[in-house]
Structure formats: C-alpha cells, structure tokens
Structure 1
C-alpha cells in the first residue's frame, strides 16, 4: 500500500521526528474527511427528490440539493453480505468467495480492507451500525475501524453525531450503516418490526401499484422457482393487489423513518462546520422489489433491486444539485473512490474505478466507464445471475432455466416489460453484451455452472431463436 502526495525530499529521520510532533502532517494536509452513510434495501427512487410522490424524505433531499446525484448507480450484488464485501474489499464477491451471506472474510483480504488501508494512510476510522461481513457488528479495530455503535438504528445517529463533534487531529473516515428499510422483510412475514411497527393504513392512503406490477411472460422462470421454494423469504405468493399496496405504503414509511435518523447526522455536519473539507457519500447496499413484477426482497436482478440511490457531496458543496447519468458501481467503484480521496494506491487485483474526477468535473457528457456489472447468487438454491448494464441496454443472464437471457432498453423500458432478447433485430447488441460478460468472467475467473451461450456442444448458433431453443 502506498500513500499518494506524501511529503517528499525530506530526510527520513527528520520526517519521523516531524511526524511524532504532528502525526497528521506526515501526509498531505488537503485530504478530506470522508463520511459514508448507507441504508439497507433502499431502491433508487425511494427518495422524494427523484419525483416519487409516495414518500417524503426531506433529509435525503437536503443531501441531493447539496451534492451530486448519480441516477445510474448499481450495487455489485443485491444481497447484504456480498454487496458490503464489494464496498469494503474492492473485489467482486464471487471472485473472492464472498457471494452469499455468512461467507467469512478470506484471511488474505483482511490487510486490504478499506478501513485498514485508510487507517494506515493516517485517517481516524470509525464504523457504526450493521457490518455483516459476516458478523452483524464490525469487530473493533479488526478491519481498521473503531466500532462506535452496534447493529441498531436506535441510537446510531446520536453516536455518529457525537463522533463528528470531536476534535480530530487527523482526517477521519466515518461509516454510518443503517438497517432500515430492511424491516420490510419482517413486515412481509407478518412479524413485529425491530424498531416499532408501522400503523396499518386505510387502503385509500396507500400508493397505487407500479406500472410494471404485472409478471412478464418472458421473465426468467428461475425467479418464480425461487419464490415458490423459499416461502419464508418471499411470502407474497398469496398477496392481493391490496396487500401489495399496503406493502408499498409500509416500505415508504420505513424509508421516511431512516431519513429522519440521517437528518441528525446532516445536522451534526452543519453544527460542526464540516462541509468545507468533507466528502459525504450516501447509498444503499441494494434495493427492494417494492411490488414490481410481483417481487419483494432482493437477489433478483430487476432494476428496483439493483439500481440504488447514490449521492456524493463534495467539499464546499461543489457542483451542488447536479444529476449525472454516468454508470457507477456503489461497491467496487466506491472502494476505489474512497482510496482516491484518502491518497491510497489501489491494491493489486481490485476491480473498481474511482468516480472522483467525474464528480469534481460535473460534466454529464464525460465517459466514466462503458458498463457496470452486477452479480447475484441466491441463498439456498445458489442460482447465479449477472447483469451487464451499458449506457442504453441492460443484459441479464441466469445460469439455469427458461428465458434465462434477457435484454432491455433502459431509455424506453426502465420497467423491463419487453425482453428484446426474444427479438432477432437486437441480435447485434445482444452479442456485444454477451461478449462483454464473457470477457469479464474470464478476467475474474468466474464461470457459470452451465456452458456459456457460445459453448453449446455441436451447435453454431446464429440467431436469437437458436440461442433460445438451446436453453429451453
């Protein structure tokens, strides 16, 4: 690990003495504080600043007004443990054995976790809330972080606010990891919610059904199989339209609940005059189906599940209020970007690309990267799937079942109701994204359990119809 912009041309013995007198001066003095606030299971449009009329999130709206909102941000994996693994190791989860909840951190990565790298670069590092790698609470100091609060939304904002009020000699990296709106999982199972139940509404006060509520006849049949075989996770098979509307109502109230807690941290940033030298990043580990395609929970590769909120507030609130369309991974790119701001060279083999330059330039036309990748592995069945999201198209591949290959036009069909993989006119774009995924798989030594579409024995597949027939 190297630190960028270190003081140069000073004899080591003098530098050592100097740093003993003032430790933080051994590093560049212009590195910002970094605050990362993230929620659990919040879909991208679950903020009123996106134009969603079904909820009110004044504090997230405050962040969006003072920062830059990336509206094409994707989680690296739509499940808590793997998503967080990407954030804090910089690796794709499947490439390092962290693709399901409960996977232990490989010993080879412990010295290269984000907290350790940033701490070794001279930062004070603190973490409060849910960790889930694999323990729910971050082990104190084990991954570079001081554990300042347990896995609970009750009291987390207050603990973070107290941390922000301290006098820090060094720049700091603070992570505030909230649990909600994850409590929608308990709601779907008719269980009591950990931080208090949401009052049952009058159905007339509930949001309507989403435009893409209907099941797509060309949807991957593995989705229905997962729903049928995991009732405790997806207990919505018998939901009526009214049940789904109440689900959506409760989900948005849980987002509003965590928004109120986030507001306390924003107030602490204000009170302690930290905006001038602090980067504040907000996101979520993954989204929720919120009833789209009759889906609740995560793991599936629907937009509602993998497209996540992503707001970056720069020091001095530069480029405040901008909305950028660039493709960003809130996992591996987040890791790379925090390293960039902290002056840390990326460890060899990490996968992300820093979005710092894109954010600081604020140019919506600037190319950040041509695509982002999301991967999934369902708990239980271990069904695997991947997304290649390009500027216009979204390619989906599952490793089993009918209709396992999908293509959607994200400019004209964000609700994913027309599977273009079934239409021969899109063969060229389909093949391009197939090739992109295959190249990515080879790069990270990730291979599906079934043969790739190019490798069906004895078949030279020229058309979408032939690909489709080969995998029925």
Structure 2
C-alpha cells in the first residue's frame, strides 16, 4: 500500500515522493521463472489426473496456483511453438512454420521488451530454432546444440561450444541454480527461461532411473488399436504408429533393443552407435545391463501382432515416464531453492510444454495433429499472494498468450501486433467479458515432413472441432462431448448441419481476423 500524500506539502515535496514511490513499486515487480519441457503430455502429469505417473513437484505449482485445462498450441511442433512464445504471434506472422528453419531473431520479441523494461533475462537449455539462429534479447544464454542429447551434451554460448559430461536434465538444473545463485543481478527482477530437452524422444532415462518402471504395467488407451475409420484419410496416412514406425522397430533407437543373436555380445553397440559412442564405460555397462533385463520379455516370448504392440507400448512408457520423473525432480530442486533464498513469494513460476503428445492414443506417439492429446499442452502457474491456490481455469488459453502475460507481469507495454492476450486477469480471477471462446490452429510441415502428417488448419470451441486437411480436400468435424477420443467425424452429417455451418463461419472469421489468407500462401 502507498502512503497518503499530504497536499499541504510543497509541489517539490510531492514530486519527490511520487518519484520515489514509482521506483519502489518497480522494484517490487515479480520475478518470472518459466520452466518449459518438450513433448510433455497432460496425460503424464498427476495435476491433470494422470493414471500413469505421480509428479509431486510439478503438482506443487498447481497446488499453489492455477491449472489451465485448455491450453491450446497454435502449431503442434517444437520450433514453431517456441517462436510463437517469443513473439506472441502465429507462424504466418513470425515466419517460423516448420522445424529446422532459421528463426529471425531481428524481429521484436518479449525478452527484448523485458530488457527495455528493466528486467534481467536469461535462457538455459533447449533453443531449437535453427542451427545458425542464436538467442537475442537475453543478457545470458546457454543453449543445447540443436536438439541436444540426453548424455554428454554440447552447449552453445556467446563464447563458443562447451562439452559437458553428465545427464542433460541434471546439467540444466545445475546451470539454472548456478545462475540464480551467482549469475543474476539481485537489484533487478529477472525473467529466466529453463528449457528442458526431456521428455522428447528417444526418451533416454537418467543413470539413476535406468531400472525404473521395469515391472510396471501401464493401462492401455482404449484406442491403442485404432483402425482409422470414420475420419479423413489423414490419420491412416500418418507414420507414427507404435506398431510400425521404424524408430520403434526391434534394433531401432527408441526401444534400445538389440538383435536377438547379439543379446549376449557385451561389445555390441550396433543398434545405437551414435548414442553409445557418447557414453562413458560405466554408463554403457549400466545401460546394457538395464536394457537386457527390460527387453527380456521380447527375447523370451516370440512376440508378434498385438502382443508385440502391447510390449512396445509398455517399453515406450517406461522410458518416457522415467524422463518425466527426472524433470519432476529438477523442478523440485529449483522450487526448493526459491524457498530457501526467500525468492518464492515474489516469483511467478510458470510450467508448460511446447505441445501435447500421444501416449498410445490412436496407436501413436508424437504430436502434430489438431487432436486433443497433441493440441493441448500443460500449463501451471503459481503467483503467490495473487493467484488462488488450487484454482482451475477452463477457458481457452494458448502459448500465443505467454509473451503478453510476461510483459503484463512486468508492467511493460504489450505491442498491438501481438495476437494473444495476457493471462493476468485470469490469474486474478477477474476474466474480461470478451475472452476468446474459439481458437484457430494451423500445422504446416505436411506429408513430406516428419511422420507424414498432412497439412491442416481448424477451429475449436472446446465442444466442437472442425479440421480442414486442405491439400487432401478432406474435412473432419468432431463432437468432443459425445466423442472425446475423436474417433468418428460427423462432417457432412445432417444432424450436425447447423453446427457445421457455425464452425465454418467461425473458422473464416478467425482466419480473416488473424490475416491468415493474406500472409499465408500455403493455406489457400
């Protein structure tokens, strides 16, 4: 609370007080800690009711703040999601459509604006916005080379590359804590982006978690054996099936399985030479011992057909969830330090991921589609003293809103050309009357890119979802209330004619409002 001004004082005294009070207020602006992962599905986070894993440290953020149940991404793939967060703009506005392009770092981004507002900015971890594009707008950055490896990663810094020995999740945690303890200016509020590689494929567990989950049997999704009927042909065309994908073949890198005849050859590294060659002798010895045991059921069982798919599904989840558990450990260490250092009360902690992920739903891993598991990312926000602990927000929000939220928290001006909206009113439980009730999505990489997922755009209002696979000339419409697994398109059904017309009109309205057609020749 500010002091009451005595208006009998001289004008000079009043000016002095107001100036002093403004600086005092500026010093009280919150720190912002943004913890970001890659491919973390809401199905693998106990704050969202996961039946697969307990994530007690991530749950601390939700328990102390707000869980967002409908955080939709604009383009469900790693690099474009990151470009969206930096710019507050869709791909067609920031120019970053697909992975492995080069992000234009000369454009306006929220870190640059936070610097201008007096914040110290730092980025540690995964960048993944091109091999030549380097971070701009950060006072400190220390990023993984391209996507990074789980073991012995290289980091890129303004001074060159640095080779590390260790497990990447642990190294990122150590670097984050070191910056918080020694690298930041305690006189300035900070914005720190801690960006994990995990749990991106190939889901390599930490040395202390190699034998986790080995005997655990995870529940299968109801549509693990989806036949891809009653929809467009896009689902059947996609190549990311647990049953068939080459990366999940026996001997492929994701399953870490050796050929049967090589099982007893201690020197065999043929299946994953690119990875095993990076490991120390002790790491490789432990790794092979663990995976011989994990894969024993395959070698002993002559598995085939659905039994083999079920085994692959269990192996996939064992490793994926081990990587998630290491992230949860990391988050716990950082939250503990904020408490110990007296920073917790004035630090907004935000946890999210670049998109959702399929964990066997539709028989898939990966993301890209506008279907719920891929479209919906986790979002947890803890703002002590402001956001009600344990609150849940069901309105549609997006990674498109993150940049605006960061700027709003810093009392910085939000540029008019950013396309999202600050989440601050929702965090204060004072939502504006005109908050969005529909959302536009667009995926560009297409059938020539990874996993052969066809280009598509669409609109959802949380109840209905309309998708246009525009290069196939095929549409889908889902009633999410009656078909939450999105197994039966009702596009063209007479019963849904009015809904279809409404959603088509909303799609065109959003495309016009967002200036998609004018700026996006790929989506005619």
Q: 205, 214, 219: which is aligned to 1:208?
A: 219
Deviations 1:407-434 (A, max 9, x none): 2233343221232224221122222222
Distance in structure 2 (CA, Å) of the matches to 1:101 and 1:376? 11
Report deviation, 1:107.
5.6
Report deviation, 1:348.
3.3
Contact between 2:31 and 2:189, CA under 8 Å: does it hold in 1? yes
Hey, what does 2:469 align to over in structure 1? Answer: 398
Is 1:319 matched with 2:388? yes
Cα distance change, pair 373–136 in 1 and its aligned pair in 2 (3 A): farther
Q: How does 1:146-161 map to 2 (within 5 A)?
A: 146-148=140-142, 150=144, 152-161=168-177
Contact between 1:158 and 1:264, CA under 8 Å: does it hold in 2? no
Distance in structure 2 (CA, Å) of the matches to 1:164 and 1:450? 44
Distance in structure 1 (CA, Å) of the matches to 2:478 and 2:375? 14
Q: How does 1:162-241 map to 2 (within 5 A)?
A: 162-166=178-182, 168-182=186-200, 185-186=201-202, 193=204, 195=206, 198-199=210-211, 205-213=216-224, 214-227=226-239, 240-241=309-310
Hey, what does 1:57 align to over in structure 2? Answer: 55
Deviations 1:132-168 (A, max 9, x none): 12249954xx333411564542311122223333551
Contact between 1:406 and 1:420, CA under 8 Å: does it hold in 2? yes
Contact between 2:206 and 2:326, CA under 8 Å: does it hold in 1? no
Deviations 1:434-465 (A, max 9, x none): 2222222233443477886xxxxxxxxxxxxx
What is the number of residues matched between the two proteins?
421
Is 1:353 matched with 2:421? yes
Deviations 1:382-408 (A, max 9, x none): 642123221422222222336x32222
Report deviation, 1:245.
2.7
Contact between 1:275 and 1:316, CA under 8 Å: does it hold in 2? no
Aligned-residue RMSD, C-alpha: 3.3
Q: 110, 127, 136: which is aligned to 1:131?
A: 127
Q: 435, 440, 444: which is aligned to 1:373?
A: 440
Task: State which drifts further: 413-422 or 143-152.
Answer: 143-152
Hey, what does 1:285 align to over in structure 2? Answer: 354
Cα distance change, pair 233–115 in 1 and its aligned pair in 2 (3 A): farther
Contact between 1:129 and 1:137, CA under 8 Å: does it hold in 2? no
Contact between 1:73 and 1:309, CA under 8 Å: does it hold in 2? yes
Cα distance change, pair 57–136 in 1 and its aligned pair in 2 (3 A): farther
Is 1:384 matched with 2:455? yes
What stretches of structure 1 of length at least 5 have no aligned partner? 1-9, 188-192, 453-472
Hey, what does 2:412 align to over in structure 1? Answer: 344
Report deviation, 1:302.
2.0
Hey, what does 1:460 align to over in structure 2? Answer: none
Cα distance change, pair 172–376 in 1 and its aligned pair in 2 (3 A): same
Hey, what does 2:516 align to over in structure 1? Answer: 446
Hey, what does 1:84 align to over in structure 2? Answer: 82
Contact between 2:123 and 2:138, CA under 8 Å: does it hold in 1? no
Distance in structure 2 (CA, Å) of the matches to 1:400 and 1:200? 44
Contact between 1:105 and 1:134, CA under 8 Å: does it hold in 2? yes
Cα distance change, pair 108–232 in 1 and its aligned pair in 2 (3 A): farther
Report deviation, 1:378.
2.5
Hey, what does 1:462 align to over in structure 2? Answer: none
Hey, what does 1:143 align to over in structure 2? Answer: 137
Contact between 2:42 and 2:50, CA under 8 Å: does it hold in 1? no
Contact between 1:59 and 1:262, CA under 8 Å: does it hold in 2? yes
Distance in structure 2 (CA, Å) of the matches to 1:394 and 1:422? 14
Task: State which drifts further: 440-449 or 366-375.
Answer: 440-449
Contact between 1:408 and 1:420, CA under 8 Å: does it hold in 2? yes
Q: 394, 398, 401: which is aligned to 1:333?
A: 401
Hey, what does 1:470 align to over in structure 2? Answer: none
Cα distance change, pair 205–297 in 1 and its aligned pair in 2 (3 A): same
Report deviation, 1:280.
1.0
Contact between 1:94 and 1:446, CA under 8 Å: does it hold in 2? yes
Contact between 2:446 and 2:455, CA under 8 Å: does it hold in 1? no
Hey, what does 1:465 align to over in structure 2? Answer: none
Distance in structure 2 (CA, Å) of the matches to 1:378 and 1:328? 24
Distance in structure 1 (CA, Å) of the matches to 2:360 and 2:67? 25
Deviations 1:40-97 (A, max 9, x none): 0011221112221211111011111111000111122111100000000111013332
Distance in structure 1 (CA, Å) of the matches to 2:50 and 2:417? 39
Report deviation, 1:131.
1.1
Cα distance change, pair 169–199 in 1 and its aligned pair in 2 (3 A): same
Contact between 2:44 and 2:321, CA under 8 Å: does it hold in 1? yes
What stretches of structure 2 of length at least 5 have no aligned partner? 1-10, 145-154, 156-167, 255-303
Deviations 1:215-268 (A, max 9, x none): 431233223323189955786998612212322232222211211111111111
Secondary structure of the 2:29 match is: coil
Report deviation, 1:339.
1.2
Contact between 1:37 and 1:175, CA under 8 Å: does it hold in 2? yes
Secondary structure of the 1:260 match is: helix
Report deviation, 1:128.
0.6
Hey, what does 2:497 align to over in structure 1? Answer: 427
Contact between 1:41 and 1:180, CA under 8 Å: does it hold in 2? yes
